[in-house]
Amino acid sequence: MSVTPRLLLAPMEGLLDARLRAVVTQAAHYDWCVTEFVRVTGTVLPARCYTRVAPELLNSSRTGAGVPVRVQLLGSDPVCLAENADQLTQLAPAGIDLNFGCPAPTVNRHRGGAVLLDEPGLLCDIAAACARAVAGRVPFTAKMRLGVRDASRAIEAAQALADGGAQMIVVHARTKEDGYRPPAHWPWIARIAEAVPVPVVANGEIWTVADYLRCRSESGLADVMLGRGAVADPLLAERIRAALRGEPAREPGQDWVRLAPLVIEYWQRVLGHVEARYAAGRLKQWLNLLRRVYPQAEHLYRQLRAVRENDEVDRVLRRECGTPGALGVAA
């Protein structure tokens, strides 16, 4: 296969923060990644609100591994979003993205995220206002789902974003009401891509190389955004590129020796930035996804599941991840 896809790392509220972005982009290269959303409601936010969500702005808007970081905005007021887009542009992000994909009820009740997909006119107004504010200074994109309850307005919503000035649209192939339940409806992405004049990126339910290949076949798109699949297997982007080069597949368990040091590094980053009482929970959250793919992570998760004290978490991590082939499973 000769295609060279763009592989993007998704924004995931409450999970893929700057700490996890740092280690996931260290494990494998992404063309760019997108932050958790910055909620915009009624005021122009000071720079510290953006650097808190995207500390990479202080590092030329790149992770430590050099992956560009785009910042995502969420809101429903075109004027206020545009003013914040202008403010954010002055911090030189790698790009600005608009969130029309979040399905969280608390967000949707305040007219944010996927609930706005029922209002294509408003989508166009928001995109147009932000595009004027950004004025070509940084890339400007949007992320959407297929709709609120069904996909009947998916094409109309995507066309509204493109008409407003979004330069690329990422489509999560589920509705708001679908949440994260499988399946993802990849053929709908193909229909959207045919209906808009801007590039479209496929997103949703890509956990493995086989999933990527099926998504590409059904959506007609090589470019994808990886979310939970990339967190569960931080080497997924690397595996996709290797498969497209025709290289033989590796069993994920063979690669734990590469990930174990990153688990320790993530823990250290969490301890340095997260309130102590929440630190163990953040680590377990990641391990809970890693164990879908890595037997060693399952073993580690079981070791830590009942542990509450950070000192004990630290001892277990260093005992179990300190040497290749640890965790009782061959590396």
- Residue 321, H or E segment: helix 310-321
Q: Considering the candidates 102, 124, 215, 321, report the single residue annotated as catalytic.
A: 102
Contact indicator for 97, 73 with CB cutoff of 8 Å: yes
Separation CA 59–CA 63 (nearest Å): 7
d(CA 281, CA 61): 28
Cα–Cα distance measured from residue 133 to residue 86, given in angstroms and rounded to the nearest whole number: 5
Nearest of 183, 164, 184 to residue 172 by alpha carbon: 184
Residue 102: active-site member: yes
Per DSSP, the residues of 157-175 read HHHHHHHHT-S-EEEESS-
Write out the two tokens for 281. Answer: 């929970």
Which candidate, 151, 160, 163, 143, places its Cα nearest to that of 191? Answer: 151
Q: Which residues make Cβ contacts (< 8 Å) with residue 59, sequence separation at least 6?
A: none
> For residue 113, which of 70, 144, 83, 85 has the smallest C-alpha distance?
144
Active centre residues (catalytic): 102
